[in-house]
Amino acid sequence: MSEGWRAIGDVLAQVNRSVVVAEVESVPYAGVRWYAGGVYLREVADPASVKAKKLARIREGDVIYNRMWATRASFGIARADVDGCLVTNDFPTFETNSDLAIVDFVGLILQTEDFQAEAALRASGTTERRRLKERDFLSIEIRLPPLPEQRRIVDLIDALDEAIKAAEQSAVRLFDLAQNLLTEAFGSDEKVRISEYADVLVGYAFKSSEYSLEGVRLLRGDNIKPGGTRWSEAKFISSEVVNSQLEKYSLEAEDVVLAMDRPVISSGVKAARIGTDDLPALLVQRVARLRPRDLKFGRLIELAFGSREFQAYLESGQAGSHVPHINGSQIAGFEVPSSLFQGSGSSPISSANYQSVTATEYAASLRTLRPNLLTALLSGEHEIPATYDALLEVPA
């Protein structure tokens, strides 16, 4: 075994705090979310409905995994909110040897792709729910640095998580502020059609037979979520068939796209602003593109179509309540406060919305950084100097 590397079983000891079901008033079942998402209270059951005669009690700080879903990284650390909950024997539970490891450091290891991949390889069985036996789990090797280095890594990742949380909370507050200011403007300001500030185009009706395995991505309603795009299930069309007729359906940065299907709209408007990472892409039928006549209007148009007022416009019947989807003219006819685009970039609405977008993008960049930083720290590729400890000292 390489220096600094040990089996995780060297720092974890299995425990079983057996509880007789007939002797408890209720059964608060705990579960473990996939991909190291944490331990949570799944349900509270009546003991009379529980078939098992005995269960196991978990305590704060326990390391737990779901034997049946180890291939989905169902690992976690029990926190205070699940202290005292019960689990079946499909949830092996372990205590951490505090002389060798910090439990939160073990928790970080469980979050890494390398550990999760190794655990999945060791799971056995013939179905999707291949089980990971305790002996195979405990034999997985991990790099175990000295306790002071473990603490520095935990503290740094905790600080990063706090920064992500703060940025996301700030983004929500600023977005709500922008929406509230926009609502006030809808109620008092002069209105103007959105078509005064953006050109509306509905996508091209591609045939499914024209789809290919690679080429130019096609932006469909399924690829749009509120405030962003999702390309996990992208469709493509061969770049060789993109002619001058199709070029006009190309997307550009700062375009705003809107899903037009009525079933989608009834459950919440899906509008998103296109970024450079979304390109190249072509617009398909039942998706509308609003191209700002001034690039600085992109964020404001996205805000307008994600507003409560646009949802109300659709629900009121003004956009046609008996059709399966809205059309381009109905989108172009949506009236917004003229003040939304006046002094764009400096108005309170614009400023709050811009800061919300900036905070969202900052949080996303930190989330992207986190797994890469964690891997580098746990592998020993980068070390946190001991001088970092001085930053943790709080003046008396």
CATH number for the domain including 24?
A: 3.90.220.20
Total structural domains within the chain: 2
pLDDT of residue 396: 40
Q: Are residues 185 and 305 in the same domain?
A: yes
> How far is 11 from 55, CA to CA, in rounded Å?
24
DSSP 382: S
Same domain as 180, residue 319: yes
- The DSSP bridge partners found for residue 95 are 13
State how far the Cα of 167 lies from the Cα of 173, in Å rounded to an integer.
10
Residue numbers of the domain that contains 64: 5-144
Query: Is residue 383 domain-resident?
Result: no
Q: How far apart are the first and last CA of the chain?
A: 44
Are 237 and 194 part of one and the same domain?
Answer: yes
The rounded distance, in Å, linking the Cα atoms of 45 and 48 is 8
Rounded CA separation 287/220 (Å):
6
* Residues 82, 215 within the same domain: no
What's residue 342's pLDDT?
78
- Rg over CA atoms, the chain: 27
Q: Can you give the pLDDT at residue 128?
A: 64
Please report the pLDDT score of residue 3 as a whole number: 60
Q: What is the pTM of this model?
A: 0.79
Residues 182 and 326 in one domain: yes
In a domain, 122, yes or no: yes
pLDDT of the chain, 396 residues: tens digit per residue: 456 899 999 999 999 999 999 999 999 999 999 999 999 999 999 999 999 999 999 999 999 999 999 999 999 999 999 999 999 999 999 999 999 999 999 999 999 999 999 999 999 987 667 899 999 999 999 999 999 999 999 999 999 999 999 999 999 999 899 989 999 999 888 999 999 999 999 999 988 888 898 899 999 988 988 778 889 888 999 888 888 788 899 999 999 999 887 554 555 678 889 999 999 999 998 899 999 998 888 888 988 988 888 888 877 755 544 545 678 888 999 999 988 887 655 688 888 888 998 998 899 999 999 999 999 999 888 777 777 666 655 444
- My answer on whether 223 and 322 are in the same domain is yes
208 shares a domain with 99: no
Q: Tokens 């999707």 — which residue? A: 128
User: Is there a contact between 69 and 31 (Cβ–Cβ < 8 Å)?
Assistant: no
Please tell me the distance from the alpha carbon of residue 116 to that of residue 374, in angstroms, as a whole number: 14
Is residue 299, in this structure, part of any structural domain at all? yes
